[in-house]
Chains A and B, each alone.
Chain A
Amino acid sequence: MVARADFEHSDCADGAEVRFTGRLTLARLGDVPARLDALGPIATLDLSALERIDTVGAWIVTRTVNEHGAKVVGASEEAQRLLDALASDKSEYRVHRDRRPAWARMLEQVGTASVAIWHELLGIVGFFGAMIVALGTQIRARRRLRWNAVVTRFQTVGVDALPIIGLMSFLIGIVIAQQGAVQLEQFGLEVFTINLVGRASIRELGLLMTAIMVAGRSGSAFAAQIGTMKLTEEIDAMRTIGVSPMEAIVLPRVAASTITMPLLGFYASLCAIAGGGAFVWIGLDIPPLTYIQRLREIIPMTDFYIMLIKAPVFGILIGVTGCYEGMQVRQNAEEVGQRTTSAVVAAIFLVIVLDAMFAVFFSSLGWN
């Protein structure tokens, strides 16, 4: 076993004389720093008996010199080299961020977040404007929309989403019917379950669930794709060649989500109604024909119009948010992840806010 770091001290008039022995290295430091601290004033540090020293050992010596104004004697050539390397003033080197009181940091966080949300909203609106301008230029220059790109997006945004959206809506239809029936049965009004399922699906839920699903599937994909293209400088390459990224990348995507949303929303509503019908048939013994007959009586045409008006707006919103967030990627791969997340969160949040506004608006129009 090799000797650990240690020291012996003898007291003199102007402070202790400390004589290190063994190896003053990180691995063999033991309790030397603590014992040194416990010592009173130190006048001399004798390194002559040291077998070895590393930067941590040299730092302990340097620290003691700085604190006690001690002088070093008997340093070997190796030790002196290390001491010289560490001698310059390190007090300005910081390790931690400035610590402020918790309430100040919380205030700052709330403030920063609020400003960030405000900027994000402004950014999305600005981006939407830029997109409209790009669309205008495209039309005036009589350049055609890139239909190939749009149709490719139809596939990924629309057709590929059919199974999952169908299944989800069907299940939601069942859940609404089942929960509604439990409540309405208490009044003997279980037949009104049909009203609940029919109107809720067409007017609100079918479209809302579709919007959430499309935001999660396609809004995120837009952000991630475009973000990656920004990182690999594809977008910049496009600009230098003279192709406008707005025209080539953003417009086809937004067009695809705008056109697909009404179709998907209608499809989702039908699936939800089918799910509700299945439950009503099995659980309440109402045959499908009666179910459909009843639906025709109770669902006003305005519910269908409401859905058709809302759907493209949600589509634009999801497309624009996804593309905007993708375009905001600047430096690293980590940012792609963050931007994708905020694309989904912002899209879903805005869809729900807008949906609430639409609900108030149409009610005051008298479309009940």
Chain B
Amino acid sequence: MSEEIEQEIKEELAAADAVRPEKFETAICIRGLKNQFGDAVVHEDLDLDVRSGEILGVVGGSGTGKSVLMRSIIGLQTPTAGEIEVYGKTLDTIADEEESRDLRRRWGVMFQGGALFSTLSVAENIQVPLREYYPRLDQRLLDEIAAYKVAMVGLPPDAGPKYPAELSGGMVKRAGLARALALDPALLFLDEPTAGLDPIGAAKFDELIRELADTMGLTVFLITHDLDSLYATCDRVAVLAEKKVIAVGTIPELLATEHPWIQDYFNGPRGRAAASGNQTAKPR
């Protein structure tokens, strides 16, 4: 084996050692987060922990900054104040581009609209992160990985060569999920994965997320409006209101709190319907 390849493999291994998700009980740790746009304060003094291996649902009214919170964690939005640690690293303090790449390869993000690259086919979309981080992978393995990821997220066999414009809304979401899972991340961010899907499609998607999280041992940060999703998939739920996380816990724990918004949310007509529909569902 040539020295060059040996060197490349060494670099890859060093990068893999830089961030070690399996060593952390708490995947994401947020303390005193503040986000402000002009005069509008979105978050103030926000604290939140995401435990490794759990599916954490994040709920809140429109405009409470659920997406801003996610964007802050993944580094698309620099917080005004406060600290966000993901696997012991803080994106703010990482000056080195290499170091932030080490962290980025540990998570996958699925945006609300799928955010697939429209000039690339689904398979090529899945291969983008792989090529970016592991340029040594040969084309055959890349193709095989793309094929099984397509299969894993439940897309039909002919979806791989299709372009995003040729896919239905539900398929775009699944393709977005496949790309988010391309690097076998430890941490998965999902922004309203079931928004815009019909109830049957949404239920299937919930099931898929639960299943993938169990098989791959994922930690999931799930933003949602969908009460059924909360009941069907989440281990714990964080409620965003009044610029902070007002409560975190399992749904029964949340129901025991007195906060009026939480009571309205879970005990409104839709909340009760979702609850009764999921009483038989399997809590993990």
Binding site for B on A (CB under 8 A): 1-2, 4, 25-31, 33-34, 52, 54-56, 59, 63, 78, 81-82, 85-86, 88, 90, 92-97, 331-332, 334
Contact = CB atoms under 8 A, between A and B. Distances in A.
A28 B13 contact: yes
B5 interface: yes
A94 B147 CA distance: 7
Nearest to A332: B165
Contacts, number: 91
Contacts of B1: 31
B9 A31 contact: yes
A28 B16 contact: yes
Given A31-B9, A95-B146, A334 B184 contact: no
A56 to B, nearest CB: 6
A68 to B, nearest CB: 16
Contacts of A331: 165
Contact of B12 (A30, A97, A332): A30
A97 B251 CA distance: 47
15 contacts: A4-B13, A25-B184, A27-B13, A27-B16, A29-B137, A30-B9, A31-B1, A54-B184, A54-B216, A55-B148, A55-B184, A94-B147, A94-B161, A95-B160, A332-B165
Nearest to A2: B17
Contacts of A90: 144, 147-148, 151
A28 B144 CA distance: 18
A82 B121 CA distance: 26
B211 to A, nearest CB: 8
B13 A88 contact: no
A95 B9 contact: no
B96 interface: no
B39 interface: no
B15 interface: yes
Contacts of A93: 147-148, 150-151, 157, 160
B5 A59 contact: no
B152 A55 contact: yes
Contact of A59 (B12, B22, B148, B217): B148
Nearest to B140: A33
Interface string B103-144: 001000000000000100101000000000010011001011
A26 B152 contact: no
A98 to B, nearest CB: 8
Interface in B22-67: 22
B9 to A, nearest CB: 5
A1 B217 contact: no
Nearest to B163: A97
Contacts of B151: 88, 90, 93
A27 B15 contact: yes
Nearest to A30: B9
Given A25-B184, A28-B16, A334-B118, A96 B143 contact: yes
A63 B20 CA distance: 27
Given A30-B13, A54-B184, A59-B145, A82 B216 contact: yes
B215 to A, nearest CB: 5
A92 B12 CA distance: 32
Contacts of B137: 29
A2 B18 CA distance: 10
Interface in B165-215: 165, 181, 183-184, 214-215
**Of residues A30, A78, A81, A331, which shows the largest number of chain B Cβ atoms within 10 Å of its Cβ?**
A30
B158 interface: yes
A55 B216 contact: yes
Contacts of B214: 81
A250 B219 CA distance: 55
Given A90-B147, A90-B151, A332-B165, 19 more contacts: A4-B9, A26-B183, A26-B184, A28-B16, A29-B12, A29-B134, A30-B13, A31-B1, A31-B5, A33-B141, A55-B181, A56-B184, A82-B216, A90-B148, A94-B158, A94-B161, A95-B160, A96-B143, A334-B165
B92 to A, nearest CB: 24
Contacts of A28: 12-13, 16
Nearest to A53: B184
Contacts of B141: 33
A232 B150 CA distance: 32
**Of residues A2, A78, A94, which shows the largest number of chain B Cβ atoms within 10 Å of its Cβ?**
A94
Nearest to B5: A31
Given A25-B184, A55-B148, A90-B151, A95 B13 contact: no
Contacts of A2: 13, 16-17, 20
